[in-house]
A and B are shown apart, each in its own frame.
Chain A
Amino acid sequence: MEERWSTEHVLSLAPDASSQKAAGKLSSPAPWSATGTDGAALWGECRGSGRTPYRTAVELATPAYSCTCPSRKFPCKHALGLLLLWSGTPEAVPAGEPSDWASDWLAERRDRAERRATGATAAADPAAALRRAEKRHARVAAGAGELRLRLADRVRHGLADPSAAGPWEEVAARMVDAQAPGLATRVRELDAVTGPDLLEEYAMLHLLATAATRIDDLPAPLAATVRARVGYTTDAAEVLAGPTVRDRWYVLGSRTSPLDGAADERLTTRRLWLRGAKTGRAALLLAFGRPGRAPDLALPTGHLLEAELAFHPGARPLRAALGTRYDAPGQGPAAPPPGLTPAEAVAAYGDAVADDPWLDAWPAVLTGVVPVLTPDGWQLTDGRHTLPIHRGATPEAALWRLAAVSTGRPLTVFGEQGHHGFAPVTAWGADHRPIDLTTG
Chain B
Amino acid sequence: MPPTAPTPTDPWESLHTTALLGTDRRPLPPPAAGDSAAHLAVDRTDPATALLELAALETVRRRAGARPAPAGEAVTALLAAPAPEDHRPELPTPAARRLTLLLGSRGAGSPGTLANLTELLPQWLATARARGFRPPAAAVPALLDAARGRTELRPDAVALAGPLGRWLAARNADWRFVLRTTTDAPGGPDGPDGPDGPDGAAAAAPGDHHLWHEGLFAERVTHLTALRRSDPAAGLALLVSTWPTERAEDRLLFLDALQDGLSLADEPFLEAALGDRSKNVRATAAELLSTLPGSTLAHRMAERARAAVRLSERGTHLLVTPPTECDTAMQRDGIPLKSPTGRGERAWWFGEVIAATPLSLWPESTGLTPGRLLGLRVGDSLDESDSSWADDLREAWARAAVRQQDADWARALLGPAPAPAPGSRGGRAARAPRSTGAPAKLLAVLPPTERAVWTAAFIEVHGLGEAFQLLGACAAPWSPPLSTAVVAALARAAASGAYPWSHSGVLGMTERALSPATATAVEELAAEAAPAGAWAETFSRLAGTLRFREAMLAELGA
Interface residues of A (CB under 8 A from B): 6-8, 11, 20-22, 24-31, 47-49, 51, 84, 87-89, 148, 151-153, 155-161, 196, 199-200, 202-204, 206-207, 210, 342-343, 346, 349-351, 353-354, 357, 370, 372-375, 379, 381-388, 397, 400-401, 403-405, 407-409, 419, 429-431, 433, 435
- Tell me whether A404 and B19 are in contact in the complex, defined as CB-CB below 8 angstroms, given that A31-B113, A88-B97, A385-B68 are known contacts: no
B137 touches A407 (CB 8 A): yes
- Provide the bound-state CA to CA distance between A31 and B523, in Å: 11
- Tell me whether A407 and B69 are in contact in the complex, defined as CB-CB below 8 angstroms, given that A30-B548, A207-B56 are known contacts: no
B104 touches A11 (CB 8 A): yes
- Encoded as 1 (CB less than 8 Å from any A CB) or 0, chain B from 234 to 270 comes to 0000000000000000000000000000000000000
Chain A residues with Cβ below 8 Å from B76 are 383
Contact among A7, A375, A407 with B97 in the assembled complex (CB-CB below 8 Å): A7
- Provide the bound-state CA to CA distance between A411 and B71, in Å: 17
Contact among A156, A408, A435 with B167 in the assembled complex (CB-CB below 8 Å): A408
Chain B residues with Cβ below 8 Å from A148 are 49
Nearest B-chain residue to A46, judged by Cβ: B113
Q: Which of B20-28, B125-133, B419-427 contacts A (4 or more CB under 8 A)?
A: B20-28
A353 touches B64 (CB 8 A): yes
Nearest A-chain residue to B94, judged by Cβ: A88
A22 touches B112 (CB 8 A): yes
Whether B343 sits at the interface, judged by CB under 8 Å, is no
Whether B65 sits at the interface, judged by CB under 8 Å, is yes
B138 touches A155 (CB 8 A): no
B171 touches A403 (CB 8 A): yes
| Residue among A8, A49, A155 having the largest count of chain B Cβ atoms under 10 Å | A155
Q: Is the interface of B mostly helix, strand, loop or mixed?
A: helix
Whether B37 sits at the interface, judged by CB under 8 Å, is no
State the Cβ distance, A226 to closest chain B Cβ, in Å: 14
B15 touches A199 (CB 8 A): yes
B114 touches A25 (CB 8 A): yes
B83 touches A29 (CB 8 A): no
Chain A residues with Cβ below 8 Å from B25 are 158
A373 touches B171 (CB 8 A): yes
Whether B303 sits at the interface, judged by CB under 8 Å, is no
Whether B388 sits at the interface, judged by CB under 8 Å, is no
Chain B residues with Cβ below 8 Å from A400 are 141, 168, 172
State the Cβ distance, B38 to closest chain A Cβ, in Å: 12
Nearest A-chain residue to B70, judged by Cβ: A385
B136 touches A199 (CB 8 A): no
Contact among B138, B168, B547 with A429 in the assembled complex (CB-CB below 8 Å): B138
| Residue among B21, B52, B98, B114 having the largest count of chain A Cβ atoms under 10 Å | B52
- Tell me whether A151 and B137 are in contact in the complex, defined as CB-CB below 8 angstroms, given that A158-B24, A385-B68, A409-B82 are known contacts: no
- Provide the bound-state CA to CA distance between A265 and B395, in Å: 65
A408 touches B48 (CB 8 A): no
- Provide the bound-state CA to CA distance between A68 and B552, in Å: 29
Find residues 90-139 in chain B having any chain A CB closer than 8 Å to their own CB.
90, 94, 97-98, 100-102, 104-105, 107, 109, 112-114, 117, 136-138
Chain B residues with Cβ below 8 Å from A372 are 75, 78-79
- Provide the bound-state CA to CA distance between A114 and B79, in Å: 56
Whether B63 sits at the interface, judged by CB under 8 Å, is yes
| Residue among B102, B136, B145 having the largest count of chain A Cβ atoms under 10 Å | B136
- Provide the bound-state CA to CA distance between A405 and B167, in Å: 12
Nearest A-chain residue to B112, judged by Cβ: A25
Whether B543 sits at the interface, judged by CB under 8 Å, is yes
Whether B493 sits at the interface, judged by CB under 8 Å, is no
- Tell me whether A87 and B97 are in contact in the complex, defined as CB-CB below 8 angstroms, given that A31-B113, A158-B20, A407-B137 are known contacts: yes
Contact among A24, A29, A30, A429 with B105 in the assembled complex (CB-CB below 8 Å): A24
Chain B residues with Cβ below 8 Å from A156 are 22-24, 47-48
- Encoded as 1 (CB less than 8 Å from any A CB) or 0, chain B from 39 to 53 comes to 000000011110111
A49 touches B537 (CB 8 A): yes
Nearest A-chain residue to B536, judged by Cβ: A49
State the Cβ distance, B168 to closest chain A Cβ, in Å: 6
State the Cβ distance, A68 to closest chain B Cβ, in Å: 17
Chain A residues with Cβ below 8 Å from B172 are 400
Chain B residues with Cβ below 8 Å from A200 are 55, 59
A89 touches B94 (CB 8 A): yes
| Residue among B58, B70, B94, B100 having the largest count of chain A Cβ atoms under 10 Å | B100
- Provide the bound-state CA to CA distance between A429 and B138, in Å: 9
- Provide the bound-state CA to CA distance between A196 and B16, in Å: 8
- Provide the bound-state CA to CA distance between A238 and B177, in Å: 58
A199 touches B105 (CB 8 A): no
B544 touches A158 (CB 8 A): no
A206 touches B56 (CB 8 A): yes
A25 touches B113 (CB 8 A): yes
Nearest A-chain residue to B78, judged by Cβ: A372
- Tell me whether A385 and B56 are in contact in the complex, defined as CB-CB below 8 angstroms, given that A25-B114, A373-B171, A407-B167 are known contacts: no
- Provide the bound-state CA to CA distance between A400 and B537, in Å: 41
Chain A residues with Cβ below 8 Å from B145 are 397
Q: A207-B52, A403-B168, A407-B164 are in contact. List 4 more A-B contacts (CB 8 A).
A: A8-B100, A84-B97, A148-B49, A152-B49
Contact among B16, B63, B70, B171 with A419 in the assembled complex (CB-CB below 8 Å): B63
Nearest B-chain residue to A357, judged by Cβ: B60
Contact among B72, B164, B547 with A30 in the assembled complex (CB-CB below 8 Å): B547
Nearest B-chain residue to A198, judged by Cβ: B19
B52 touches A429 (CB 8 A): no
Chain A residues with Cβ below 8 Å from B74 are 374-375
- Provide the bound-state CA to CA distance between A152 and B140, in Å: 52
Contacts A/B (CB < 8 Å), 28 sampled:
A6-B97, A11-B104, A21-B104, A24-B105, A25-B114, A26-B113, A47-B540, A155-B22, A160-B20, A161-B22, A200-B59, A202-B52, A206-B49, A206-B55, A343-B67, A353-B64, A373-B78, A374-B78, A381-B79, A383-B75, A385-B70, A386-B70, A407-B137, A408-B79, A408-B81, A408-B82, A409-B82, A430-B137
